[in-house]
Structure 1
Amino acid sequence: MQNNKLRMAIRATAAMAALGMAGQASAISFETGGWETSIYGYARLNASYDIDEQHTNSAQTASFSDINVGDEEDDEVSGHFDADAVQTRLGIQTMTPEGVKMVVEGDFRGNGGGDLRLRHAYGEYEGVLAGQTWSNFNSFVGNTSTLDFDSLPGLAGLQGRTAQLRYTTGPFSVSVEEPSSSVASVTTPTTGANAGNLVLDDQAGSKDGMPTFTARFQDSNGGLSYSAAALVHQVEYDTGTDDDSAIGFGAFVAGKIAITDMVSIQGSFNYSDGANSYLWRSGEDYYGYDAYVTPGGDVETLKGYSGSIGTGIKLGNGNSINVGYGMTTMDVDDIGDDYTGNESIAETNSAIMANYQFTPVKNVMMGVEFQHLKTEDANGDDGDSNRLLFAAQYNF
């Protein structure tokens, strides 16, 4: 049975390769009145084969929240194929004669996939950036290349974009950003599927009363690239009758070293106390709660940490092999101490991703990736899954 599933996946890879070699794209750049403008992006097909249960998000990325745990792993339905092109991207960048840079970029991953989604929209002049782009509490220095658009748990920082005002001078940058915070209420239902379980939900009256403040240092020296960043923000709730708040903070370090011209090792480490909204692939899937409300109405911050490590091996002619491991975990023991119930709360997510990427012609990337994912709840229930991912990307 398992061999048949793998043979089907291999046939799908071969079919995608044949389709991929049939298309090409070229860059579009022009100058008008001293304005230098380029249109860029790519068309991309992603396809996945879930060897075990189906746990696929848009762009065929892996979903930790859909992995069966405990008794749910018994008699699970296995073998699922899916594909989409929602990762396809289009952007425009222009530079004025005065040196003002402007970027607008989108893809089609909005509303679960298929709708246009704004990725970047910002202007930048003499180190001052205003608009939406990658959070300053973010770095790609330690990332291992994966075909999965959402990649490994434990990468550095938010791994997302946010509205901000940023100032950069040399390798140092600071920003004031749109806040991202979450406070959980804790209940123990007496009926239904979650009867007897501790259930986290958004606390009524959760609010953002101040922006997030970040600082980052990122530089390189020879074959070494490195980055470190920190943030502070407020987590709070106010129902009109009850309220409380706390300060959360987070930090990360990331680095990459070129062992040879062909081989690199890279990785990252993150720590959070009340800033799990910036801890990549924590909680149920993407970001965990920053804090929870105790039975006495106080805001109690939740700690978390994560890390990733990987290697990239260049084979020449645009071909490469990449292997990475990432893990994210949250300390939710205090919730179990304050509330009575089965601690079926997502605690740890981890993944191994290994891929082969190749370039059949210029501006075309194709690849196949194997993934092994695991998730574990605070009560010890865990589950794992295996999947294959295929990609064909045409850049312009």
Structure 2
Amino acid sequence: MKKNVLAKAIGLTSAAMALGIASGQAAAVEFEAGDVMLDVYGYAQLNAVYDIDQDIGLDTQAGHFPYLFDNDDGRDGHFDADAQQSRLGVTATHASGVSVTVEGDFRGGDFRLLRAYGEYGNWMAGRNWSNYTSFVGWTPTLDFDGLAGLAGIQDRAAQVRYSNGPWSFSVEDPNFQRIADTDDEKQSAPVVTARYEDALTSNVMFSAGALLQYLSYDEGDAGDDDNAVGMAGYVAADISLTDALTLHGVLNASDGANGYLYRSGDSGFGGNDAYLDGSSLETISGYGGTIGASADVGAGTLNAGYGLVEMDWDDYESDVGAAAADARVETNSNAFVNYQWNPIEHVMLGVEYGYFKSELYSGDSEDAQRVMFASRYSF
């Protein structure tokens, strides 16, 4: 970032989309076999955490909002570590221009498929980062799951995508849909997304996305059914103030698409899109955002960021009842300050302070602090 902060921001965006990493870049190992070029890439990463308050660490030691309430047993001070964020991927590029990427990591303890897709020309098909995702506006964190309110779903989805310059459009698997208080939701149509992402000036990187989805519930032959339309949108930007200082920001809004409002709701990753008022399907709105900064300090980069998401349960309270609404998570927020540096090529070390808070509609809240260390060896 000494040369040009915007160039690094764009580079980090590309690296994150290619590797799905929280920060830093990896250099692939190349092999040539006939008319196919193979790029093998990955990293081994250790994450170690000390939870000052209750244990809120999920796999990869990322902070998990639901654990603020679930693990509040009065026992403070917890240490844990794992290497589950470690990753392995391969890209095969044919002389014809067709390329195939398969990538996975070890979150959860076993190898899991993250991305598997093919590309040719303007078209991509397979499992990849949702088109309703951007790493523009993203403040680097050591925490694998990052700030609440980041741009888009921050996850992968099966999809078909068409890209042309800064524009990209997709139809995707709607597996992030949730309807409160029923097991009778069904996926009856793909999600449709659009995204624009480009450098507006030499100092500003910009991204905007929009999404439409079709929500359905159906109790079967003897029951009721109804449908609703959900929508969401975000804007995000990285602004280079100097060669050593970049500001990051994201704004999100949704109505009936809170599964795509990152880290909202009871699950800690995406909230309910709608609820049932009798036999009528009513959408739930939400909003969120992040703000952060990255600055060159000494041999590395100092990053600081804050994120918040909030869901509107007022109509749910009126239609369903105060007791049900009071138990719902209304707000999730977190903040991180970290320092990351590369002592040698292909090695990243980092330390981070994190703060998490979750508040129910009733006003009850829990918060926790934690300290994290990470080391990554990339190839």
Pairwise same-fold verdict (TM > 0.5): yes
2 CA distance for matches of 1:168 and 1:380?
Answer: 44
2 CA distance for matches of 1:283 and 1:27?
Answer: 38
User: Of residues 336, 340, 344 in structure 1, which corresponds to 2:321?
Assistant: 340
Please tell me whether the aligned partners of residues 50 and 387 of structure 1 are also in contact (alpha carbons under 8 angstroms): yes
Cα deviation digits, residues 197-239 of structure 1 (max 9, x gap): xxxxxx1221010000000000013121000010100111101
Please tell me whether the aligned partners of residues 181 and 234 of structure 1 are also in contact (alpha carbons under 8 angstroms): no
Partner of 1:91: 89
* Displacement of 1:360: 1.4
- Distance verdict in 2 for CA 1:262–1:101, change over 3 Å: same
SS in 2 for 1:277: helix
- Give the letter aligned to residue 31 of structure 1: E
1 CA distance for matches of 2:171 and 2:320?
Answer: 36
User: Of residues 369, 372, 385 in structure 1, which corresponds to 2:352?
Assistant: 369
> May I ask how many residue pairs the two structures share in their alignment?
347
* Displacement of 1:68: 3.3
- Give the letter aligned to residue 218 of structure 1: E
1 CA distance for matches of 2:131 and 2:28?
Answer: 29
- Distance verdict in 2 for CA 1:267–1:80, change over 3 Å: same
Partner of 2:205: 225
Please tell me whether the aligned partners of residues 90 and 102 of structure 2 are also in contact (alpha carbons under 8 angstroms): yes
SS in 2 for 1:68: helix
* Displacement of 1:115: 1.0
- Give the letter aligned to residue 226 of structure 1: F
* TM value normalised by structure 2: 0.89
1 CA distance for matches of 2:314 and 2:322?
Answer: 12
Structure 1 residue 325 corresponds to structure 2 residue 320? no
- Distance verdict in 2 for CA 1:26–1:155, change over 3 Å: closer
1 CA distance for matches of 2:28 and 2:114?
Answer: 20
Partner of 2:16: none
Partner of 2:56: 55
Partner of 2:241: 259
Structure 2 unpaired stretches of 5+: 1-25
Structure 1 residue 298 corresponds to structure 2 residue 293? no
- Distance verdict in 2 for CA 1:43–1:251, change over 3 Å: same
SS in 1 for 2:316: helix
Partner of 2:190: 211
Please tell me whether the aligned partners of residues 184 and 289 of structure 1 are also in contact (alpha carbons under 8 angstroms): yes
- Distance verdict in 2 for CA 1:293–1:26, change over 3 Å: closer
Partner of 1:383: 366
2 CA distance for matches of 1:350 and 1:302?
Answer: 19
Partner of 2:105: 107
Partner of 1:21: none
1 CA distance for matches of 2:120 and 2:29?
Answer: 24
* TM value normalised by structure 1: 0.85
- Report matched runs for 1:174-185 at 5 Å: 174-179=169-174, 180-185=176-181
More displaced stretch, 331-340 vs 321-330: 331-340
Q: Sequence identity, in percent?
A: 47
- Report matched runs for 1:268-279 at 5 Å: 268-279=250-261
SS in 1 for 2:53: coil
1 CA distance for matches of 2:317 and 2:187?
Answer: 26
- Give the letter aligned to residue 117 of structure 1: R
* Displacement of 1:361: 1.0
Cα deviation digits, residues 71-125 of structure 1 (max 9, x gap): x96x71100001111100000012111111110000011xxx1011111100111
Partner of 1:189: none
2 CA distance for matches of 1:362 and 1:385?
Answer: 35
Partner of 2:41: 40
2 CA distance for matches of 1:146 and 1:376?
Answer: 23
* Displacement of 1:316: 5.9
- Distance verdict in 2 for CA 1:150–1:99, change over 3 Å: same
1 CA distance for matches of 2:142 and 2:38?
Answer: 29
Partner of 1:236: 216
* Displacement of 1:304: 0.3
Partner of 2:14: none
Partner of 2:3: none
- Give the letter aligned to residue 84 of structure 1: D
CA-atom RMSD in angstroms: 1.4
Please tell me whether the aligned partners of residues 292 and 300 of structure 1 are also in contact (alpha carbons under 8 angstroms): yes
Please tell me whether the aligned partners of residues 27 and 41 of structure 2 are also in contact (alpha carbons under 8 angstroms): no
Cα deviation digits, residues 300-331 of structure 1 (max 9, x gap): 100000000100012365x1100000000000
Partner of 2:142: 147
Larger radius of gyration: 1
- Give the letter aligned to residue 316 of structure 2: I
2 CA distance for matches of 1:353 and 1:118?
Answer: 28
Please tell me whether the aligned partners of residues 136 and 237 of structure 2 are also in contact (alpha carbons under 8 angstroms): yes
2 CA distance for matches of 1:277 and 1:304?
Answer: 10
Structure 1 unpaired stretches of 5+: 1-24, 186-202
* Displacement of 1:26: 7.5
Cα deviation digits, residues 168-205 of structure 1 (max 9, x gap): 000001000001311111xxxxxxxxxxxxxxxxx122
- Give the letter aligned to residue 351 of structure 1: N
